[in-house]
Amino acid sequence: MGTKERRLREKKQRKLHILNAANELFRKQGYDTTTMPQIAEKTELALGTLYLYFPSKDALYTALLLEGYEAMLKALRAARASVSRKAPRIQFEALLDAFFEFARTYPEYFEIIFFILQKEGQRQDFLTQKELQELWNKEQQCKDIAIDILKQAGHPEQDLNETVNAVWSMIGGVYFYFKGVGTEELHAVAAKAKRIICSALFTKGRAS
């Protein structure tokens, strides 16, 4: 490996290290109380070096949001692809399973996407219009997977975005409301929510 390639790899690894450290501090302390000097200390980098990678705490936060959406999108696409030849209901069930599994496996991403961004609406004022659009595009790509499955099942197209928005909110709420009760109970509640949602969406007369 040449010098240039090695430097690029090292830069990428350091950037990931910074993102992981910031993510951990944001979760433990909250966004407002976390400072760039604290992030620099945790990463064992000089503050000036940290600013070379991310010019502000807001830039760090935005990068985490985009990374989280990309990870979720990848998980949902993989779930759908694994059962793509199955009936729409089975595809949708796989999508819901992947959603909850993502929440359990990557709580740091999930909480940034569904809690910090949504609850702290004022936090969006630092995002540029381009960054906001990119975030909403990522979210819509996640939702479009569900929309495509419902189209396949015969749902009217004009209602699909609203339907998926409702499901998206409900399953996010299930995770946040029950996440503190323990893995076993959360799994049972998630399974129940999945059955209720799929029973409502895939009624008699539709593909199942």
Among residues 174, 194, 197, 195, which one has the least CA distance to residue 186? 174
Question: How confident is the model over 24-83, as pLDDT tens digits?
Answer: 888 788 778 899 999 999 999 999 999 999 998 888 888 888 888 999 999 999 999 999
Task: Note whether 92 and 147 are within 8 A (CB).
Answer: no
Distance (Å, rounded) from C-alpha 186 to C-alpha 109?
18
* Cβ contact 80:99 at 8 Å: no
- Distance CA(196)–CA(87), nearest Å, equals 18
Give the H or E element holding residue 3. Answer: helix 3-29
**For the chain, where do the domains classified as CATH 1.10.10.60 start and end?**
1-55
Residue span(s) of the chain under CATH 1.10.357.10 come to 57-201
Tens digits of residue pLDDT in 77-110:
999 999 999 999 999 999 999 999 998 888 878 8
Nearest one of 125, 140, 7 to 69, comparing CA atoms: 140
CATH number 3.40.980.10 given to 1-55: no
Residue type, 46: A
Which pTM value belongs to this model? Answer: 0.79
Q: Report, at the CATH architecture level, how domain 57-201 is classified.
A: Orthogonal Bundle (1.10)
